[in-house]
Amino acid sequence: MKVDRIDTFLANTGGRNLCFVKVSTDEGLYGIGEAYSVGPDKATEAAIHDFEEWLKGQDPLRIEHLWALMYNGTRFPPGPTILAALSGIEHALWDIKGKALGVPVWQLLGGAVRDRVRVYQNPGGRTPEEMAERALALIERYGYTALKLGPHPPGSEQMPWNAVLRGAAGRMKAVRDAVGPDVDVGLDPHAKIFEPVRALQMAQAVAEYNPYFFEEPIRPENIDAMASFKRQCPIPVATGECLYTKYEFRDLIVRQGADLIQPDVCLMGGLLEMKKVAAMAEAHYVMVAPHNPMGPVATAVNVHFCASTPNVAVLEYNPDDRPPRRDLVKEPLVVKDGYIELPAGPGLGIELDEGAFQKYPYRSWRRTNAVRPDGSIAFN
């Protein structure tokens, strides 16, 4: 069996484009994957088709070999566009292998260490009251035992810092009071805080409400700053969505920069690379909470990872039971009582509905909040 062709499908779901990959073989077997939407998504699509020329005629079951071919064959250590392309292709290779052997991918990764995967969602909301109402509605609908909030109040870029801190505490208090003491509630400032000392002030402002984790409190480039911050922070620190491959995660983990790591399987190098990072984290007593803001195929790939990885805490999730996301696959994975059951079919256990993509054509994307009202550039 040899790789015959690679197709891509871009769909805009209203906020961002989703980029899906289909690797076909000369025996009619195919697999699907999902690449991260890094912004210049046409560039990711072009990189996938460039890799197509590298992989044609290759054995799709030699996943480690083909990963090294793409990663090491790139002229310099790859960045996000190349790694997004590589990751999506790698998912599809696992899908092919599972289908060829007649087993789910999690079985190929060592077998299940759990029967279902715990997931969480961000309820959103502008005011504390709206956030609390939406949190309760999500718990009622999906049975979540965990949530994640953005602590910054709307317009925080133009507010005095003490007002931002009071707003963050008010948002966390409103949700905690609404959902009770036992629902895990993470906080994600999206690296909007530049100085570690201010991140520490925010952590102290919300600590009494027992947040589950404090995600990307500062930007991820300076691991020494993150490690120093973690030693002082009263809340477990989570980071990793912007890190790539075992090499960058090695630096974070060895320097004790996080209590939880959040690799993204659509960006950091794919499924096997994420397994290697998780094993490294396990040896350092660090948990994994995968970053997963992408589409339904990404969720399926993550579920196979979580099913077979002992040090997984929880998985980020976006519901796939409503259009447009629901339209893109034939049968999405389903959340019940805050968990996703393990797929039982061969491969990833999810299929694209290719006919639906014409309803959601690609749209060029860029950050709309990169420039602040005063003309300065936002750091994240």
Enzyme catalytic residues: 190, 291
DSSP-assigned letter for residue 271 = H
Tokens for 272, please give them: 């096997």
Rounded CA-CA distance 155/380 in Å is: 15
Residue with tokens 């690296």: 191
Q: Which helix (H) or strand (E) holds 144?
A: none
- Pick from 90, 20, 105: nearest CA to 51: 90
Residue 222, number of CB atoms within 10 A of its CB: 13
Rounded CA-CA distance 10/13 in Å is: 10
Q: For residue 25, what are the β-bridge partners?
A: 3
Tokens for 38, please give them: 């890094």
- Pick from 265, 306, 313, 305: nearest CA to 286: 313
Q: For residue 35, what are the β-bridge partners?
A: 19
DSSP-assigned letter for residue 315 = E
Residue with tokens 């460039």: 50
Environment class of residue 337 by beta-carbon count within 10 Å: exposed (0-12), middle (13-18) or buried (19+)?
exposed
- Pick from 304, 254, 316, 251: nearest CA to 274: 304
Any residues with CB less than 8 A from the CB of 338 and at least 6 apart, and which? 118, 119, 142, 143, 144, 145, 146
Rounded CA-CA distance 203/216 in Å is: 12
